[in-house]
Chains A and B, each alone.
Chain A
Amino acid sequence: MKLHEHQAKEIFAKYGIPVPEGKVAFSLKEAKEVAKELGEYPLVVKAQVHCGGRGKAGGVRVVKSEEELEQAVNDLLGKVLKTFQCPDGKPVNRVLIERATNIDKEYYLAITLDRSKSKPVIMASAAGGMEIEEIVKENPEAIIIQTIDPELGLMPYQARELAYKLGLPVREFTSIALNLYKIYTELDASLVEINPLVLTKEGTLVALDAKLDIDDNSLFRHKDLEELEDESQIPKLEAEAKKYGLNYIKLNGNIGCMVNGAGLAMATMDIIKLAGGEPANFLDVGGGANVEQIANAFRILMADPDVKVVFINIFGGILRVDRLAQGLIEASKMVELRVPVVARLEGTNVEEGKRLLQESGLNFIIAEDMWDGAKKAVELAKQAQ
């Protein structure tokens, strides 16, 4: 789960990490009140969206007067911000108003999991402000990494080493790094990132931006964080799928996929591409999907206007194929079948399942295997265009 910058900064502040003075505003009126509280200009208006690359897309404005503030807030609030990372854009329903910072130099600081070691790592660089991917690509030496022992946690000497290498005020930096690690562990973060961490002209350190991603699996013990989720940042069909325990991700193609299991779902997307088509989505109904989930999955696929054909690829193991076929038949009674459906079913009781579908009177096209199904779906999608 992703948090907004302003939410992350509020948490940072609680943990003693210095952030610019500021507050979130949901309306122009609130924005003006925040500006008044902060006192003098210049101020910074930052669109709050779950997407990187805001700066380049005009989502961050420095304002020198109330007129400019009004202009900036009106430009952003209620609009959709498109960035190179989110070409479809994200709605801006809140802005963060902050006091401007006198930037001397920008740094990068983050803590995340190193999967190959199964341990956390702290990463720092003097090339702040850039995407970490770009830093690594351009100059892997520019990033300093320390592996953290999960039992001991981040040791102060590790933070000091980073501070000395980067030439940063040692005591201040060490405090920020240790507190950042505290956030990482106490909040079950999958990523906590300060980019940029700013050395001000006054010689102090400030987290100018804040990114905090929480491990979804841990939300059962972080009810307070779960409430912070801004659903407007998640595409509508994805949010709906989530409610039914379905894993759905919208993609650019026109072949809707319904598959059980994440690996097989990815393989199904790949095979559609291999057959010359484009998947409209990733949809994993899970290993033990029930009739209701199948029905909801079906409804979500049919609700996507881009979908011209549906390809169902199910390998029934524990979930028997005849039960699944019954589910599909039930589902198609509830949802209008506005596009052709290709079904590839395999596994336990497959013959009975296929018979049920064929005798249902519904227009299901039964595929021999995965490849046959993919080719049939691609052919139908081409005809529909």
Chain B
Amino acid sequence: MAILVNKDTKVLVQGITGKEGSFHAKQCKEYGTKIVAGVTPGKGGTQVEGIPVFNTVREAVEETGANCSLIFVPAPFAPDAIVEALDNGIELIICITEGIPVRDMMMVKDYMVKNYPNAKLVGPNCPGVITPGEAKVGIMPGHVFKRGKIGIVSRSGTLTYEAAYQLTKLGLGQSTAVGIGGDPVHGLTHKDVIEMFNKDPETEAILMIGEIGGTEEEEAAEYIESEVKKPVFAYIAGVTAPPGRRMGHAGAIIMGGKGTAQAKMKALEKAGVYVIDNPAKIGETVASVLNKIK
């Protein structure tokens, strides 16, 4: 089962002729993902790594039946790319692009929520989604992941790889890993993804990797407390981050005393989540708790 992507997902890559786009399209294809099309205006009729390139998403969808878009289009043009995918019926959009203006994302999200309530956006500024052994729709190193029963949702890229690596090393595989991105306005939230994992029969435990800023972790905690029976683990990065300083991600900032790691950890603990304070012990903690539960 897993969530969001699987071996049948037909992916089109917007911005496939760029440096990033062509490199990762190849990597995803080699992993076994069904990359059916690429889109770059003006490059229609060409090929990248044997993948046909189209001028428009419309043509790509008509010709290949693509149902998921992976976006590498540069920030100034990425909002246009997301809307083009939405308007052509793509219901899962994974946007890797970093540096999109907040206002543009706000307008795009508003448009999406009002016109395409069933569409799902992952990112922007995210590593993408992987269902190990089936489909890698993103930029993560595939070999770090292994198929199994733990669902991962995370705001960060390398920290996701770190966590997956620790789990995999201990023989704990993942159902799906979702990087939701570090921007202040983005698509799927921690809560949205946890809800999907909760309904997914293959996922037996959930690992959430949060960070300072915003209130998404707190909102997830509320949901977990009332709805989730599966064990949930959480690590929150940024305990030592000073207020008012943006920690790399546009969204990772403590503002007005809101969004501290301590507040998030407290809310999660209250919701019955196993909160891990040492990022080197994520795998160990998950393994030992799951052993005890069994």
Contact = CB atoms under 8 A, between A and B. Distances in A.
Given A263-B211, A346-B165, A133 B257 contact: yes
B76 interface: yes
A271 B278 CA distance: 6
Nearest to A273: B240
A263 B165 contact: no
A311 interface: no
Interface string A256-279: 000111111111111111100001
A197 interface: no
A367 B12 CA distance: 41
Contacts of A279: 240
A185 B140 CA distance: 35
B7 interface: no
Interface string A100-120: 000000000000010110111
Nearest to A320: B141
Given A120-B106, A218-B103, A370 B214 contact: no
B158 A315 contact: yes
Contacts of A129: none
Interface string B242-281: 1011011111100011000100000000000000011111
A156 interface: no
Interface in B174-190: 182, 184-185
A262 B156 contact: yes
Interface string B136-173: 00011101100000000011111111100100000000
Nearest to A247: B248
Contacts of B106: 113, 118-120, 150
B142 to A, nearest CB: 9
Contacts of B114: 151
Contacts of A266: 211-212, 237-238, 240-241, 247-248, 252
A348 interface: yes
Interface string A199-215: 00000000000000001
A271 B235 CA distance: 12
Given A261-B156, A270-B240, A317-B144, A113 B102 contact: yes
A28 B185 CA distance: 45
A371 B277 CA distance: 12
A270 B237 contact: yes
A374 interface: yes
Nearest to A271: B279
A282 B211 CA distance: 14
A282 B248 contact: yes
Most buried by B among A247, A261, A347, A348: A261
B50 interface: no
A367 to B, nearest CB: 10
Nearest to A220: B76
B75 interface: yes
Given A115-B214, A188-B102, A266-B241, A249 B76 contact: no
B247 A265 contact: yes
Nearest to B213: A115
Interface string A121-161: 00000000000110011000000000001110000000000
Contacts of B209: 263
| Interface size band for A | 35 or more
B107 to A, nearest CB: 6
Nearest to B279: A267
A346 B162 contact: yes
B120 interface: no
A322 interface: no
Contacts of A272: 240
Q: Do most interface residues of chain A lie in helix, strand or loop, or is the interface mixed? A: mixed
A267 B110 contact: no
Contacts of B157: 261, 263, 287, 317
| Interface size band for B | 35 or more
Interface string A301-327: 000000000000001111000000000
A251 interface: yes
Contacts of A75: none
Given A218-B101, A270-B239, A261 B256 contact: no
A188 B99 CA distance: 13
A284 B246 CA distance: 12
A62 B159 CA distance: 52
B141 A119 contact: no
B100 interface: yes
Nearest to A373: B280
Interface string A348-371: 100000000000000000000111
A149 B279 CA distance: 39
A85 B249 CA distance: 22
B10 interface: no
B215 interface: yes
A23 B125 CA distance: 41
A271 B23 CA distance: 33
B281 to A, nearest CB: 7
Q: Top 7 A-B pairs ranked by shortest CB distance? A: A263-B156, A262-B248, A261-B158, A263-B159, A371-B280, A317-B141, A218-B101
Interface of B: 23, 27, 75-76, 99-103, 105-107, 109-111, 114, 139-141, 143-144, 154-162, 165, 182, 184-185, 209, 211-216, 219, 235, 237-242, 244-245, 247-252, 256-257, 261, 277-281
18 contacts: A115-B184, A116-B216, A118-B185, A150-B106, A150-B110, A151-B114, A215-B102, A217-B102, A218-B101, A263-B155, A264-B158, A266-B240, A267-B159, A270-B277, A271-B278, A272-B240, A287-B139, A315-B158
